[in-house]
Amino acid sequence: MSEKQNIRHLNLDELKEVFVSKGDKAFRAKQVSDWLWNKSARSFDEMTNLSKDTRTLLEENFTINPITIETSQVSRDRTIKNAFKLHDGNIVEGVLIPTDTRMTACVSSQVGCSLTCKFCGTGKMDRVRNLHFDEIYDQVAMIREQAQENYDIALSNVVYMGMGEPLLNYANVLKSIEHITSQQGLNMAPRRITVSTAGIAKMIKKLGDDEVKFNLALSLHAANDQKRDRIMPINESNKLDVLEESLNYFYEKTGTRVTLEYIVFNNFNDSLDDARELAAFARRVVSKINLIEYNPIDGGEFQKTTEPKINAFMNELWKHGHVVNLRRSRGKDIDAACGQLANKSIV
């Protein structure tokens, strides 16, 4: 017996062809698409405005392959970390991050990661495969339900900052955002979505060429090549001058300033000289700066900097006229904070 086709991998025209070829009405395609992307249906039985015969036809020929929640953990600060199980048994993690001003879904784009950043738990895992666009969409849809069910607040933001490097799964990431932002999908504003990259210059330029409407964040973490080479091997083939050029190209094409993400490590990149190097880099790129508290990982070589050092670091950046925000870690007690997603809690 032939394997069932994933119905979410068909576009609307292809769905119409399916129904017409089966002697049914073409408008059924719009009904099914609405269930899949607007209502986030996970089974054909949920599609109650279709006849039983139509649902049986779909069941016999297609699958939806929805992701499921394997485990969920709730942090003391109300952060919820989910282990999502994919149809092939692989696991990725996604996080609901509630704050006073927003509800954010942090989602994964790959099973594992190939970039081996020294400070990241995911970087210690092998990359197994890219996620399909519908698997990324499912994370957002399910975390959106959690926000409503647990806190009675609508999901406001999505960040592609979970497991994997989004720009190494370019087509699926962009197609997932298309469904998340479409009026026929989840209807979220593109400006509420941020894609974070470790820094792949040619793909940053491609984002510019595609004139994307969402936000871009660069995981910088060091503003000189020697230090960045040490903690992020991707820098060896994407030096800071090349990244600078690509980020300016992105801004010229999209008009969107980039966020520079900078984790502050104790006695590594937290000196005033480091702050001045960051300030100089940020002057050459239309950007704002997010300083991030470090979240220790098992076997990691780095430590979180002290409060006096991070305050002095921020003051130095302010002195140079930069927009700076400090992102406090959330979900640390359940390994849900930035850099800690490594399927550690799965049993």
What positions carry a catalytic annotation? 93, 338
- Residues 140, 92: Cα–Cα separation, whole Å: 13
- Residues 124, 276: Cα–Cα separation, whole Å: 31
CB burial class (10 A; 0-12, 13-18, 19+) of residue 340?
Answer: buried
| Phi, psi values for residue 77, rounded to 5° | -95, 15
- Which residue reads 């979505």 in tokens? 193
Range list of H helices, the chain: 12-21, 28-33, 52-61, 133-151, 170-181, 201-209, 225-231, 240-254, 272-283, 307-319
How distant, in Å, are the alpha carbons of 2, 184, 246, 307 from that of 55?
19, 21, 48, 59
- Which residue reads 């696991």 in tokens? 91
Task: Retrieve residue 42's tokens.
Answer: 């996970």
> Parallel, antiparallel, or unpaired: how do β-strands 110-111 and 129-130 relate?
antiparallel
Handedness of CA 220, 104, 140, 143 (dihedral sign): positive
Number of helices (H), then strands (E), in the chain: 10, 14
CB 179 within 8 A of CB 173: no
CB 62 within 8 A of CB 7: yes
Handedness of CA 49, 68, 154, 257 (dihedral sign): negative
CB 64 within 8 A of CB 34: no
Q: What is the DSSP letter of 78?
A: S
Task: Retrieve residue 235's tokens.
Answer: 């820098």
